[in-house]
Amino acid sequence: MNSKSLIKAREYELQEEAKVNVSDRAAFHLTPRVGWMNDPNGFSYYKGKYHLFYQYYPYDTSWGPMHWGHACTEDFIKWEYLPAALAPDQEYDDFGCWSGSAIELADGTHALMYTGVVEDPQTKEFTQTQCLAVGDGIDYIKFENNPVIDGSLLPEGGSRADFRDPKIWYDKDDQLYYLVVGNRTEDGSGAILLFQSPDVKQWEYVTTLDRSDNKYGKMWECPDFFSLDDTQVLLVSPQEMRAQKLEFHNGNNSICLLGSYNKKKHKFGRESVQSVDQGLDFYAPQTVETPDGRRILIGWMQSWESSRNQPHDNKFFGTMSIPRELSIKDGRLLQKPVKELEKYRDNRVSYQGVTFKEPMQLDGINGRILDMDICLQMPEATTNDVVTIAFAKDHENETIIQYFPHSGLLRFDRNNCGFNCDILNVRDVETTPYKLKLRILLDRYSSEIFLNEGERVLTSTFYTPIQATDITFQATSEAYMDITKWDLML
């Protein structure tokens, strides 16, 4: 039996969805049915479809008591909305059903693991616990003995106020369920805890897999833990990061810790750390493994800072990134858009060996819903040379990519994209000198820029009027370019 709170949310989203202008939504990225969206949750494969839940407040375009919104897809590109899955309606989650994950159980049901949050009315302090709901892909019943993991199972020094975002999986060899969850430690920074269970209902603490020690931010949120190309990957989203050269930036980051894992001893050996996405709008990624063995990642295509720039007349806010296929090459995580996107390509326009210096446009190279490959070269570049690509451009607005080929620096700049408040709008990343491959996805109000086959990615939003469709190229000295662009037709 669904609670009154969940029934109310479902009725509201169904009613208000009809008032959303479809052309305001992204064409091939998931947006909320209505209201507010943040972190992806429960990314899982169930009964032939990929299910994605998300942090959701249907009643406003600002953050509120967290529900779980719900959508599914067969190809990661076209999404179908399903009714809201969870609402805060129990004593242990009355401040919100926060982030978590999902898995198909042996009996064919779909289990959701999430963080229930309670706020003390006097002290205003939070208590966070891990909770279970089980259902059929539409309706979910919360476990009568929730929470299944509470503060009594934490290691010494673990915070009961910052203990969230369980990611669950099943190990066929051990015949056990495992989950990782973020926790704040006695030094004020973050750690990732490992728990195990025979049945998803009875859990025990196993070990601490890794911890920040105040080097990579404070609280570690939204962990994910998996094997990829003979490498063990731990994804975390640290809060309160301090910038470290150009790899990490201030504030909320998403980082990837690569290493080895001794499964018998449950010991993770960290070998390297890198940023997952170096754009201005990306957080809280989560992955799923497909039946054909691919590891697919999706993240919240937004940041808390830029969320203040949302359009005032929209009835929804928030977008997910394009789902991305992951691989490891030369000790680095690579990302590329899912291959399914390519079947939506149309109207191919291609130019080879283009030479340019003065501002230039190319016939057929424009638009706001597109997939574009560019190979830039400036082999004789000096320290003062720069190549500039401007998109979503008209007489007043533009977003630009600047490539400094002598140093191999790339700069993303949305200062003139139409934002209405002063936030960070520029991000620099290191890439290869003299020659650079880019793949650029535009979807109305967002850009995802993949450098050198996905060695680095920059994801950002902008709210330039949709009529601004020009793309221009210029350089301080003679530059060379091959370019292919497809419209994406959905």
What domains appear along the chain, each with residue ranges and CATH number? 4-337 (2.115.10.20), 344-488 (2.60.120.560)
DSSP lists the bridge partners of residue 101 as 113
Which residues contact residue 339 at a Cβ distance below 8 angstroms, ignoring those fewer than 6 apart? 325
Please compute, for residue 340, the number of CA atoms within 13 A of its CA located in the half-sphere on the CB side: 18
- CA angle, residues 479, 483, 486, in degrees to nearest 5: 155
Sheet holding 456-461, edge to edge: 345-356, 479-488, 369-377, 435-443, 446-451, 456-461
Instruction: Express each pLDDT in 248-285 by its tens digit.
Output: 999 999 999 999 999 999 999 999 999 999 999 999 99
Q: What pLDDT is stored for residue 421 in this prediction?
A: 73
Residue 439, Cβ neighbours under 10 Å: how many? Answer: 19
Assigned token pair, 188: 């004020």
Sequence-ordered strand ranges (E) for 65-152: 67-73, 79-86, 96-104, 110-119, 126-135, 140-142
Strand duo 35-46 + 316-317: pairing: parallel
pLDDT less than 50: residues of the chain: none
Which residues contact residue 294 at a Cβ distance below 8 angstroms, ignoring those fewer than 6 apart? 325, 326, 338
Q: What pLDDT is stored for residue 312 in this prediction?
A: 66
Q: What pLDDT is stored for residue 308 in this prediction?
A: 73
In terms of C-beta density within 10 A (0-12 exposed, 13-18 middle, 19 or more buried), how is residue 343 classed? exposed
Which residues contact residue 107 at a Cβ distance below 8 angstroms, ignoring those fewer than 6 apart? none
CB contact burial 368-384 (16+ within 10 A = b; e otherwise):
bbbbbebebebeebeee
pTM over cut 0.85: yes
Q: What pLDDT is stored for residue 304 in this prediction?
A: 83
CB 223, CB 205: distance < 8 Å: no
Q: What pLDDT is stored for residue 27 in this prediction?
A: 98
Q: Hey, what long-range contacts does 131-138 have (CB within 8 A, 24 or more apart)?
A: 131/92, 131/93, 131/97, 132/200, 132/201, 133/85, 133/86, 134/105, 134/109, 134/110, 135/85, 135/109, 135/110, 136/109, 136/110, 137/46, 137/47, 137/49, 137/51, 137/72, 137/82, 137/110, 138/82, 138/83
Q: Of 24, 39, 330, 482, which is the active-site residue? A: 39
Closest listed residue to residue 299, CA positions, set 235, 227, 218:
235
For residue 330, indicate whether it is catalytic: no
DSSP lists the bridge partners of residue 449 as 440, 458
Find where tokens 């326009």 sit.
349
- CA angle, residues 371, 375, 378, in degrees to nearest 5: 145
